[in-house]
A and B are shown apart, each in its own frame.
Chain A
Amino acid sequence: MHRGAPRLSATAGTVPAVSLRRVTKRFPETRLDDEVVAVDELDLDVTDGEFFALLGPSGCGKTTTLRMVAGFEFPTEGSVHIHGTEMGRRPPDRRPVNTVFQSYALFPHMTVAENVAFGLRMRDVARDEARRRVAEAIELVQLRGRDGAMPGDLSGGQQQRVALARALVNRPKVLLLDEPLGALDLRLREAMQVELKQLQALLGITFVHVTHDQEEALAMSDRLAVMDAGRLVQVGTPAEVYERPRTRFVAEFLGDANLLTAEAVDAERVRLPDGTVVRIASGRSAGAAVHLSLRPEQLDLVAAGTPVEPHLDAVEGTVARIGYFGSAIEYDVALDTGGPEVLVTARLGNARGVVARTVGERVRMRWTPDSVTVLED
């Protein structure tokens, strides 16, 4: 993968806030007397000042990656650099980064203020200055008045804010967030997404945010990296990665995707399973199998037989299933393959004027050729 490896080099002239060079981490698997590769030859640059998300399913190595940046784990091979300095085996207490832990890891025997002050105390910041900065940080996360509370008496959302204040008060160059919103309920999570994003913009600190929630990553990050099985699959802005997934894994993991196998007719056209020939942006040599991704929301449904305008492509099929989601309606349409069933899903906004379809109805699905992405695998 390394040759076409996704490597977005940092903005010219500036040193990346975090860079990983060929980092591999293996853990011994004691029961099987074997090793597990958690992170596999990872190369990654995080630009100074950006909100960077590491996205992937659980067990993909994203948390291990973050822990190697924080200094809780050390790479088996390769190196970690923060602002150009190689970290080597420098312990966490001597790294210019701070972490917001997944379950917050607030010290249960200290008050909110003591928790927030901990880092300053360890660095022997003068008492007056420490007091002022703690007050500022508590203010920043809107917890004024809760200074004396114990973590156990706070709600999940408040604990999350304390964890944030405790890290930010130290003015780290890079803030590492390990699934910080994972334990919150949906509504709170959405509010915190906005708040975190605003904080990051306000403070200008580099955020490296680990999450398995694709919506969170898309909504919050400037750039994101998708990881799978210890490897980086794709790096880019949310729009790039969502709209042009490189692999089947990325297409499926980020949002919903119709994955179709087609046969290349020539460099610009492929034949779908039902025999329809449609256009693609860039193709393969004739006869090769090509895997396509089509986002459901980029498909339109019209009555069967509706003429197809020249700038669109279309297939016909039968509505097999309808899913009603309030703001949207999903139609699973079975293509006329004559063989095994191939379903393509279209998601239509539930706007005024959209014609409702019924199961069994013949429909035509249409799209613009540039919404078809050819996958590498």
Chain B
Amino acid sequence: MVGVAPAPAPARRRGPRPPAPPGPEREAARAAARRGALIGLPPLVTMVLLFAVPLGIVAVYSVATRGRTGRTELADWNLDAYARLLEPLVLEIAGRSLGYAALTTLLCLAIGYPFAYWLTTRRPGVRAVLLVLVMLPFWSNFLVRTYAWRVLLGSDGPIVTALAAVGLGEVRLLFTPFAVVLGLVYGYLPFMVLPLYSSLERLDLRLVEAARDLGATGWEAFRRVTWPLSRPGVVAGSVLVFIPSFGAYVTPELLGGSRTTLVGSFVVRQFLSARDWPFGSALSMAILVVMLAATVAYFRAQERRS
């Protein structure tokens, strides 16, 4: 069917009629907004009281003064605590924490990606069972899982005993950086695997088939189709591993030594033993800022790439 000339543009319809009366939309939207705010109010108040307000108090403490007895004087406001953030010891601890967290994230990704990929290739029935097996550690008590490594790596634990038995002598494993990173990887691996699995599982395999059909090798298809499409899982998993690794307390306390102090333990020490609350508060603020910046930067970078 061929029409010949293009139809003239429909005439603008601006007659002499007065504007139509306003409809009920605005009123209805307002009523809905009121209801939404009403439902949101209890949790909002909770979050303000238990999160926003405490954040403000920490900010206040961070510029207060430590009295001679260790009591914090809410007077003589100063930025000394922030200045101390630049001391070599603090920088060393912060650097170590960042390094360990980055290493942990990378290791979790290196172990978790092929693992999650392998899970998605299992038969559906088997996969369901394996998935439960992955989730069980996720739901298991974190403290106990870390404690297990303390038992395993301990000087009279099975690994050291076995190494000694085969003539490798006294190997010290516990209280080393190795033990801390191992513990972090062990603790947070499920946080990496599960988001990865879920983004890989959602992947439409017909896309991979299309890539192969268009001449890509298995590896090329992976690099150009599977990997880019699984990136949301990589981002989510990395954030979920990096954040708790950076602020970790239990793992370095149980598996590390004095030379592997991380920021988490350092902050706790300011409150429980050194009793320097302003400095501890400044440290907490700094951690928060770093976390916020890292998360935002990471998401931004990933957004740009995709």
B20, A24: Cβ atoms closer than 8 Å = yes
**How would residues 1 to 19 of chain B score, 1 for a CB under 8 Å from any chain A CB and 0 otherwise?**
1111101101101010101
Q: Is B2 in contact with A342, judged by CB distance below 8 angstroms? A: yes
A345 touches which of B1, B7, B8, B10 (Cβ 8 Å): B1
Which residues of chain A come closer than 8 Å to B87, judged between CB atoms?
A: none
> B76 at the A/B interface (Cβ < 8 Å)?
no
Which chain B residues lie closer than 8 Å to A79 at the CB level? 21, 23-24
Chain B residues with Cβ below 8 Å from A252 are: 1, 3
Tier of interface size on chain B = 20 to 34
Residue of B nearest to A22 (CB): B20
- Shortest B14–chain A CB gap in Å is 10
B25 within 8 A of A: yes
B27 at the interface (CB under 8 A from A): yes
Indicate whether B22 reaches chain A with its CB closer than 8 angstroms. yes
Known contacts A41-B20, A343-B2; A248/B7 CB under 8 A: yes
Q: Which of B1, B23, B25 has a CB less than 8 Å from the CB of A259?
A: B1
Contact for B4 among A2, A75, A261, CB less than 8 A: A261
Q: Does B28 contact A (CB under 8 A)?
A: yes
Minimal Cβ-Cβ distance residue in B for A258 = B1
Bound-complex Cα distance A78 to B4 (A): 38
A89 at interface, CB cutoff 8 A: yes
CA separation between A40 and B23, bound complex, in Å? 13
A251: nearest chain-B partner, CB-CB = B3
Distance, CA A198 to CA B17, complexed state (A): 42
Q: Are A78 and B3 in contact (CB under 8 A)?
A: no
Shortest C-beta distance, A299 to chain B (Å), equals 12
Query: In the bound complex, do residue B28 and residue A74 qualify as a contact, i.e. CB atoms below 8 Å apart?
Result: yes
Q: Size class of A's contact patch?
A: 35 or more
**A349 CB to nearest chain B CB (Å):** 18
A94 beta carbon closer than 8 Å to chain B: no
Instruction: Report the separation of the CA atoms of residues A74 and B25 in the bound assembly, to the nearest whole angstrom.
Output: 5
Q: Could you tell me if B13 and A24 are in contact, using CB atoms closer than 8 angstroms?
A: no
A2-B13, A22-B21, A79-B21 given as contacts; is B7 within 8 A of A291 (CB)?
A: yes
Smallest Cβ-Cβ distance to B30: which chain A residue: A89
As a 0/1 sequence over residues 329 to 343 of chain A, the CB contacts with chain B under 8 angstroms (1 = contact) are 000000000000111
A10 at the interface (CB under 8 A from B): no
B31 contacts A by Cβ under 8 Å: yes
Instruction: Verify if A360 is at the interface (C-beta below 8 Å from B).
Output: no
Q: Counting chain A CB atoms within 10 Å of each CB, which of B24, B27, B28 scores highest?
A: B24
Question: Is A297 in the interface zone, CB < 8 Å from B?
Answer: no
Given that A22-B20, A89-B31, A261-B5 are contacting pairs, would A2 and B25 also be in contact in the complex, using a CB cutoff of 8 Å? Answer: no
A1-35 vs B: 1/0 string, CB under 8 Å?
11100000000000000000011110000000000
Q: How far is the CA of A152 from the CA of B29 in the complex (A)?
A: 34
Q: Are A291 and B5 in contact, CB atoms less than 8 angstroms apart?
A: yes
**Across-interface contacts of A84 in B (CB, < 8 A):** none
Bound CA–CA A115/B231 (angstroms)? 41
Contact of A256 among B1, B15, B27, B31 (CB under 8 A): B1
| CB atoms of A25 and B21 under 8 A apart | no
Q: Assess whether B24 is in contact with A88, with CB atoms less than 8 Å apart.
A: yes
Please, which residue of chain B has its CB at the minimum distance from the CB of A340?
A: B4
Q: Do A2 and B15 have beta carbons less than 8 Å apart?
A: yes
Please tell me if the beta carbons of A257 and B1 are within 8 angstroms of each other in the complex: yes
A76 to B21, CA, bound (A): 9
List, in ascending order, chain A residues with CB within 8 A of B28's CB: 74, 89
Query: For residue B20, which residues in chain A have a CB less than 8 angstroms away from its CB?
Result: 22-24, 41, 77-78
Interface: A153 (CB within 8 A): no
- Against A, the Cβ 8 Å flags (1 = close, 0 = not) of B25-39 are 111110100000000
Chain B residues in 8 Å Cβ range of A23:
20, 23
Cα distance, A247 to B29, chains bound together (Å): 37
Closest residue to A23 on the B side, CB-wise?
B23
As a 0/1 sequence over residues 27 to 59 of chain A, the CB contacts with chain B under 8 angstroms (1 = contact) are 000000000000011000000000000000000
- Chain B positions within 8 Å of A248 at CB level: 3, 7
Asked whether any CB of chain B lies closer than 8 Å to the CB of A260, the reply is yes
Residues in B whose Cβ lies below 8 Å from that of A2: 13, 15, 17
Question: What is the bound-complex CA distance between A78 and B7, given in angstroms?
Answer: 30
Question: Are A25 and B4 in touch, CB under 8 angstroms?
Answer: no
List A contacts of B31 (CB < 8 A).
89
Q: What is the distance, in angstroms, from A309's C-beta to the closest C-beta of chain B?
A: 27
Q: Does A273 contact B (CB under 8 A)?
A: yes
Which residues does chain A contribute within 8 Å of B5, judged by CB atoms?
Answer: 261, 289, 291
Please give 7 more A-B residue pairs, beta carbons under 8 A apart, in addition to A77-B19, A89-B28: A3-B15, A73-B25, A74-B28, A89-B31, A247-B7, A249-B7, A258-B1
Point out residues on B near A: beta carbons under 8 Å.
Answer: 1-5, 7-8, 10-11, 13, 15, 17, 19-29, 31
Q: Which 6 A-B pairs have the closest CB atoms?
A: A259-B3, A75-B23, A89-B24, A261-B5, A22-B20, A77-B20
